[in-house]
Amino acid sequence: MVMSAWGLQFSSGDQTVENRKLFAKSYFKKCPMCIKQKPDLEKSNIEENKIPAGCRMNGDAYGTTVFKCLDCKWETSFQWDDASDCYYYETQYWK
């Protein structure tokens, strides 16, 4: 039997831990670049693009979500996994 892996989880955009932590802390709502200009910003103009990389036999999918700020074009990505306790598992130990 062949596993149906039809893609790879990738990372793109800004992968600076500091910026990504700030972004994750805002529940993926506030662009860390825009927030530096406007600390009272409520919500950024974030475009979210979920790209599945594969699906396991049990139906659990995994992939990458690319987040892009439409105001300043800042971009980052987070890998996700349906099977993980922490959906965006890269953020699991960022407390």
| Binding-site member from 20, 23, 34, 78 for Zn ion (CB under 5 A) | 34
Tell me the closest approach of the beta carbon of residue 14 to Zn ion, in angstroms: 11
Distance CA 52, CA 5 (A): 11
Binding mask 46-85 for Zn ion (x = CB under 5 A): -----------------------x-xx-x-----------
Among the candidate windows 9-17, 24-32, 48-56, 84-92, which touches Zn ion by CB under 5 A? 24-32
- Give backbone dihedrals phi and psi of 20, rounded to 5 degrees, phi first: -70, -35
The two tokens of residue 22 are: 């700030």
Burial (CB count <10 Å: 0-12, 13-18, 19+), residue 41: middle
Q: Helix, strand, coil shares of the chain as percentages rounded to 5?
A: 20, 30, 55
> CB of residue 67 vs Zn ion: minimum separation in angstroms?
10
Binding site for Zn ion (CB under 5 A): 31, 33-34, 69, 71-72, 74
